[in-house]
Structure 1
């Protein structure tokens, strides 16, 4: 069982696609989306097996666990009906079934489709931007075969991308940068603390390494997961990192892009004044992950790297 733990606009759709295209993987895209939404409204969720009984804040861990263990009937009906079900190869058949059979009775009728996809796969994986490393302790303690891939991207690229989709405003960039970098660093601190207790079960991956060295990093991830990196997977990685082929979904989640160009996009689109704010606030995180601060002279010079060479850890 695998949790791809990451943050909004940090390359997780791209990384998740590299994982989910292995036929041995059952993959779920953002299973906590509905739970976060209802938590903000302080509302109850409805469960097929319990009705309106559990408050939202207590159910995130259980939702991840249920997807990972194929216990679909323990998941709330809003999550089972969320639009993100269409963003995974393995949950799309179920989503199409629900579109043909709406309502709770339709969900019950279609659940076997979802269960079959999950049960037949040796590896189950959930990708989430709505969880944290501290709360992973419960699942790691309970299930000895859960692994975590902790995906991190340069904060300058992440914040630029969040702004581009209207998630944040640069009018309060300092606040957003502080909140984001503190969150990531907190997860890294917890990860460093618990790794000795869970050897070979937590892998920290830097998005830039996957984008710049896709085959080497994909091989490292697959080895960590115990998966076979086949020729067809290598061909798929080649397509989605070179921008070749016709596999783009034509939306903001499209992964069919030139990955090396994407890595440097923030350097040609952000003002130096914005970069300087992020660099100052996020310095503690930079030191942990090998990111380098920019100056007015090297920001646009793409031959000067903005991160050190490092391996996933």
Structure 2
């Protein structure tokens, strides 16, 4: 081969290398642009709730839509670590916010490994495959993150539910992201506390303390939401669990309208199937005879304890339409509900 031919071949190889590099860069730019566009057009939803308030049931209704990417309790690990750490509340608040933001914006590779490997990853349809992938790749679970990222990017709505964040702390995220919305779920504190006690979160000697913690927190979140609804009109909806359980199709339709999703006949049939089934599926069951479950607690919680909760939680009752039990007979008279019409400012319809 002549010298000129050799020079031509070298130049040709160099051009090919440069072409391949440019093609790779262009491909990466296209992927990045598509990612930005996908995230920019995506609606983000946070279900803000309290332990044993029906949030798993609510999340299940939303995640059944194929256009939704849903994550169950992503702050679980951090909440447990915060009880054993010297980090101050502000540092953890920033970490919580960053974790929520990374999930909702599909920045899954940036999330702490402990969070990604927590056992709650099995509790969502969209994270279940990832969970099993990590079990099969214990030494290199990061290789499974692409499953989460792919599921998130292809969805039109990213949603998570948490019992470990406050309404006020959501302000900064709402300011940063115009497509972010909040569903604030509140349940009657009496069955909520009974359910917490059954899971041994506390014993009944501490009922007054835990009732005050729950009801004060829920009332503060509610009051903050009233102010925030003025600042962020159309982006915060308050839902009472009892209404969702009594009228699941009606309330699910309202939730879907709020989020911007179509409520189909298939969605309606699915909701009817999970709210009329009589099944015993454990503590985190999301299939139930929902109408019956609303008042079942009245047969299990003694009147003295109900009366104590009624007294402590009166401000929350007034805001959310819950009624105190006037006597043992009143408590056990299942034909008389212990809640009434929700005040206008508490209604899911009042998000506009």
1:151 aligns with 2:185: yes
Give CA deviations for 1:236-265 in whole Å, capped at 9, x if unaligned. 111111125x8x7x3311122111111101
Using the alignment, how far apart are the partners of 1:264 and 1:119 within structure 2? Answer: 40
1:47-66 map, 5 Å: 56-66=92-102
Preserved contact between residue 38 and residue 56 of structure 1 (Cα < 8 Å): no
1:71 aligns with 2:107: yes
The structure with the largest alpha-carbon Rg is 2
Q: Paired residue for 2:288, among 257, 261, 267?
A: 257
- 2:249 corresponds in structure 1 to 215
Using the alignment, how far apart are the partners of 2:286 and 2:117 within structure 1? Answer: 24
Alignment TM-score, normalising by the size of structure 1? 0.93
Preserved contact between residue 94 and residue 111 of structure 1 (Cα < 8 Å): yes
- 1:24 corresponds in structure 2 to 67
Alignment TM-score, normalising by the size of structure 2? 0.83
Preserved contact between residue 151 and residue 205 of structure 1 (Cα < 8 Å): yes
The 4+ residue runs of structure 1 with deviation greater than 2 A are 54-58, 309-313
Preserved contact between residue 43 and residue 55 of structure 1 (Cα < 8 Å): no
> Kindly tell me: are residues 56 and 190 of structure 1, through their superposed partners in 2, closer, same or farther at Cα, counting changes over 3 Å?
closer
Using the alignment, how far apart are the partners of 1:251 and 1:178 within structure 2? Answer: 27
Using the alignment, how far apart are the partners of 2:93 and 2:159 within structure 1? Answer: 22
Using the alignment, how far apart are the partners of 1:251 and 1:194 within structure 2? Answer: 36
Say which structure is richer in helix: 2
Structure 1 residue 56: deviation in Å?
A: 4.1
1:87-236 map, 5 Å: 87-103=123-139, 106-236=140-270
Using the alignment, how far apart are the partners of 2:339 and 2:49 within structure 1? Answer: 19
Give CA deviations for 1:212-232 in whole Å, capped at 9, x if unaligned. 011110111010011111111
Instruction: Give structure 2 stretches of 5+ with no counterpart.
Output: 1-43
